[in-house]
A and B are shown apart, each in its own frame.
Chain A
């Protein structure tokens, strides 16, 4: 919280990290390299290992095998109070017997800061989260959002090169969550500190992050920007976890550079082929598909699947439809404002271009873990 330009974040390098609790393996061979000043989100369903990874970085647990370096130095065996890392918890973890001001001053007091200098930095940290007027209140007198802002100030007041956040907005309502997401983003921009953020909310991950690491079953499925994960998911799990999608399964045949899938009496063609012999599935994003009346003109390179509208949701910015296809699959289509309206029960054709199909190796476990 000195000069913003002077503040630099720490890099994190995790290689071949495993974490076992007795017979249970929480993390399997994690490789994660976070750049200085980066906003990295660990995204995944509960029990996927994202919080375990955060606890490893924070020093609350030790890795079973592998290496963990922060700022280029190995921290294996270093207890959490010597790591100089800010941590924000989902449950706020403010000290109930201290005022907001005392809470924020606590890490400074531990570092031997006193008097005017300490007060100045507490004030600055509280200003940053817009809580300066609450310094004399007790945490129990604050709302959840206010408490979490104080917790954020407390975790940042000692200028840590790294801030960890464990689902910090999980207990808050949607409006407040969205506003705080922008606040966190602003603070990250101002400070240049490395942020590692754990969430199970993919929308939150997309709003906040420079990059996202998608966790599943103790492994990292893919690391990339939100755009990369959405447009080019590496696995079916990532494709299904980030955003919505229609998943098509059928008999496939490779013809040159194309893959043809047969669904009942209909065929669709993707402009891609899978390396290796894995059984492919096809993924279509809802906004890449268009809903058309039966019999409408077929464009070049367009695939069509017929079905019936089973759900029509007006979203303000457009409409979302669910279409039951001939083979029983539910397709999701998002129409922009001004597109033709469909009602529940209407016969419709779901149309999408061959180059918009994402071809992925099938993975039955991706369906199970999502529930």
Chain B
């Protein structure tokens, strides 16, 4: 982009001489832009190019046209799965928020050592592969697993968790929790706690001060975390595939089925594009929410 702002005079100032053709110098972006070059190359090679192929195949395979999209929205199964994917993502986002908000708040008020422990508890699961963590959940959730053994031990009836939607939500919540905790913590850390003291001096009960001052100031972190978790949930594959059953299939499994089992790239591509467009729509709706009129929770040194 910067290339368009460049002109011949800066090219000459850089000592490229009068011989440099004008159009070449116009393509020379200013220095720092090159720092982004490796990332741009990778993104073009492994994201933009395959994505273009997926989009192209969805409208050209097996024949040119929107047949794949018509098929997708005509099929009741597909519509159910699409709706279920959004519902599960919403539940996962909510569950993550409920767990993450108090956790992140605790991180801001405890002492240094305890905070370190709390941060490690968030980060260590990151260092484990998602597959390993999901398999751990299989052990915990299965019919003869840890949870049901405990329930049986205290005389309660067993609960069906594995291969059900609640099981999927539990597993996904655990895997995605850090993506909710970290943005919320980052915002909370910047909130001046002395504002609560000020609110109390003006006559606010402690819980009112928290709800009316602290919570609104922490919302940017909540929005950021919610969007990340929701979008990651929409395309989540491993955990729902391992913890879910036939009645809890999500869109990612359908895509996998179309592309790898049925070798139907067109239909799989169409599903992917539907998910992508839905995600963009969601972001467009969420964007005004995230725009803050004030610079939130700025704290002076």
Q: Does A140 contact B (CB under 8 A)?
A: yes
Please report the C-alpha to C-alpha distance between residue A60 and residue B198 in the assembled complex, in whole angstroms: 10
Cβ-defined contact, A107 with B194, below 8 A: no
- A-B CB proximity, top 10 nearest: A93-B198, A107-B202, A87-B201, A138-B294, A110-B203, A81-B200, A140-B295, A80-B200, A97-B216, A96-B294
Cβ-defined contact, A58 with B217, below 8 A: no
With CB as the reference atom, state the residue of chain B lying closest to A84: B203
Interface residues of chain B, those whose CB is within 8 Å of chain A, are 192, 194-195, 197-206, 208-209, 212-213, 216-217, 292-298, 300
Q: Does A89 contact B (CB under 8 A)?
A: yes
Please report the C-alpha to C-alpha distance between residue A171 and residue B296 in the assembled complex, in whole angstroms: 21
Q: Nearest chain A CB to B145's CB is how many angstroms away? A: 46
Please report the C-alpha to C-alpha distance between residue A171 and residue B208 in the assembled complex, in whole angstroms: 29
Residues of chain A lying within 8 A (CB to CB) of residue B206: 79, 81
Q: Does A230 contact B (CB under 8 A)?
A: no
User: Given that A89-B198, A96-B217, A97-B217 are known contacts, is A140 also in contact with B203, CB under 8 Å in the complex?
Assistant: no
User: Given that A91-B192, A96-B297, A140-B294 are known contacts, is A86 also in contact with B213, CB under 8 Å in the complex?
Assistant: no
Residues of chain A lying within 8 A (CB to CB) of residue B195: 93, 95
Cβ-defined contact, B200 with A95, below 8 A: no
Cβ-defined contact, A96 with B201, below 8 A: no
Cβ-defined contact, B203 with A158, below 8 A: yes
Q: A58-B201, A107-B203 are in contact. List 10 more A-B contacts (CB 8 A).
A: A59-B201, A80-B200, A86-B202, A87-B198, A87-B202, A96-B295, A97-B216, A97-B296, A158-B203, A171-B300
Q: Nearest chain B CB to A83's CB is how many angstroms away? A: 8
Cβ-defined contact, B197 with A93, below 8 A: yes
Cβ-defined contact, A154 with B294, below 8 A: no
With CB as the reference atom, state the residue of chain A lying closest to B202: A107
Q: Which A59-95 residues have C-beta < 8 A from chain B?
A: 59-60, 79-81, 83-87, 89, 91, 93, 95
Please report the C-alpha to C-alpha distance between residue A145 and residue B292 in the assembled complex, in whole angstroms: 24
Q: Nearest chain B CB to A130's CB is how many angstroms away? A: 21
From A96, A154, A158, name the one whose CB has the most chain B CB atoms within 10 angstroms: A96
From B199, B202, B203, B206, name the one whose CB has the most chain A CB atoms within 10 angstroms: B202
Please report the C-alpha to C-alpha distance between residue A33 and residue B292 in the assembled complex, in whole angstroms: 47
Cβ-defined contact, B294 with A139, below 8 A: yes
With CB as the reference atom, state the residue of chain B lying closest to A86: B201
Residues of chain A lying within 8 A (CB to CB) of residue B295: 96, 140
Please report the C-alpha to C-alpha distance between residue A222 and residue B295 in the assembled complex, in whole angstroms: 45
Cβ-defined contact, A85 with B194, below 8 A: no
Cβ-defined contact, B202 with A106, below 8 A: yes
Residues of chain B lying within 8 A (CB to CB) of residue A155: 201-202
Cβ-defined contact, B203 with A97, below 8 A: no
With CB as the reference atom, state the residue of chain A lying closest to B293: A138
With CB as the reference atom, state the residue of chain A lying closest to B196: A93
Cβ-defined contact, A110 with B200, below 8 A: no
Residues of chain A lying within 8 A (CB to CB) of residue B209: 81
Q: Would you list 29 pairs from A and B whose C-beta atoms are within 8 A, ordered by A residue?
A: A59-B201, A60-B197, A60-B201, A79-B206, A80-B200, A80-B201, A81-B203, A81-B204, A81-B206, A83-B201, A86-B201, A87-B198, A93-B192, A93-B194, A95-B195, A95-B198, A95-B217, A96-B217, A96-B295, A97-B217, A97-B292, A97-B296, A106-B199, A107-B203, A138-B293, A138-B294, A140-B295, A140-B298, A158-B202
With CB as the reference atom, state the residue of chain A lying closest to B197: A60
Please report the C-alpha to C-alpha distance between residue A154 and residue B217 in the assembled complex, in whole angstroms: 19
With CB as the reference atom, state the residue of chain B lying closest to A138: B294
Give the interface size bracket for A toward B.
20 to 34
Residues of chain B lying within 8 A (CB to CB) of residue A175: none
Q: Nearest chain B CB to A143's CB is how many angstroms away? A: 13
Q: Does A111 contact B (CB under 8 A)?
A: yes
Cβ-defined contact, B202 with A154, below 8 A: yes
Residues of chain B lying within 8 A (CB to CB) of residue A158: 202-203
Please report the C-alpha to C-alpha distance between residue A110 and residue B203 in the assembled complex, in whole angstroms: 7
Please report the C-alpha to C-alpha distance between residue A106 and residue B198 in the assembled complex, in whole angstroms: 11
From B198, B212, B298, name the one whose CB has the most chain A CB atoms within 10 angstroms: B198
Residues of chain B lying within 8 A (CB to CB) of residue A154: 202
Residues of chain B lying within 8 A (CB to CB) of residue A59: 201
Q: Mark A124-161, 1 if CB is under 8 A from B, else 0.
A: 00000000000000111000000000000011001000
Q: Nearest chain A CB to B200's CB is how many angstroms away? A: 5
Please report the C-alpha to C-alpha distance between residue A139 and residue B300 in the assembled complex, in whole angstroms: 13
Please report the C-alpha to C-alpha distance between residue A171 and residue B301 in the assembled complex, in whole angstroms: 11
Residues of chain A lying within 8 A (CB to CB) of residue B298: 96, 140
Residues of chain A lying within 8 A (CB to CB) of residue B208: 110
Residues of chain B lying within 8 A (CB to CB) of residue A60: 197, 201
Q: Nearest chain A CB to B297's CB is how many angstroms away? A: 6
Cβ-defined contact, A96 with B296, below 8 A: yes
Residues of chain A lying within 8 A (CB to CB) of residue B294: 96-97, 138-140
Residues of chain B lying within 8 A (CB to CB) of residue A86: 201-202
Q: Mark A336-355, 1 if CB is under 8 A from B, else 0.
A: 00000000000000000000
Residues of chain B lying within 8 A (CB to CB) of residue A83: 201
Q: Nearest chain A CB to B203's CB is how many angstroms away? A: 4
Residues of chain A lying within 8 A (CB to CB) of residue B297: 96
Residues of chain A lying within 8 A (CB to CB) of residue B212: 106
Cβ-defined contact, A111 with B296, below 8 A: no
Please report the C-alpha to C-alpha distance between residue A155 and residue B198 in the assembled complex, in whole angstroms: 9
Residues of chain B lying within 8 A (CB to CB) of residue A138: 293-294
Please report the C-alpha to C-alpha distance between residue A107 and residue B212 in the assembled complex, in whole angstroms: 12
Task: Among A79, A91, A95, A140, point to the contact of B199 (Cβ < 8 A).
Answer: A95
Residues of chain B lying within 8 A (CB to CB) of residue A95: 195, 198-199, 213, 217
Residues of chain A lying within 8 A (CB to CB) of residue B201: 58-60, 80-81, 83, 85-87, 155
Q: Mark A265-303, 1 if CB is under 8 A from B, else 0.
A: 000000000000000000000000000000000000000
Please report the C-alpha to C-alpha distance between residue A114 and residue B212 in the assembled complex, in whole angstroms: 17
With CB as the reference atom, state the residue of chain B lying closest to A106: B202
Cβ-defined contact, A81 with B205, below 8 A: yes
